[in-house]
Amino acid sequence: MDLLAIAQQTVKIILILGLPSLIVSLIIGLIISIFQAVTQISDASLAFVPKVIVVSIFILITLPWIGDHMEQYTLELWELIRVFGQE
pLDDT of residue 74: 94
pLDDT of residue 46: 79
Q: What type of residue is 21? A: S
Please tell me the total count of domains within the chain. 1
Each residue's pLDDT tens digit, 45-79: 778 888 999 999 999 999 999 999 999 999 999 99
pLDDT of residue 81: 87
The Cα–Cα gap between 38 and 44 comes to 15
Q: What residues make up the domain containing 57?
A: 3-86
The Cα–Cα gap between 86 and 32 comes to 55
Helix/strand/coil percentages in the chain, nearest 5: 90, 0, 10
How many other CB atoms are there within 10 angstroms of residue 65's CB atom? 12
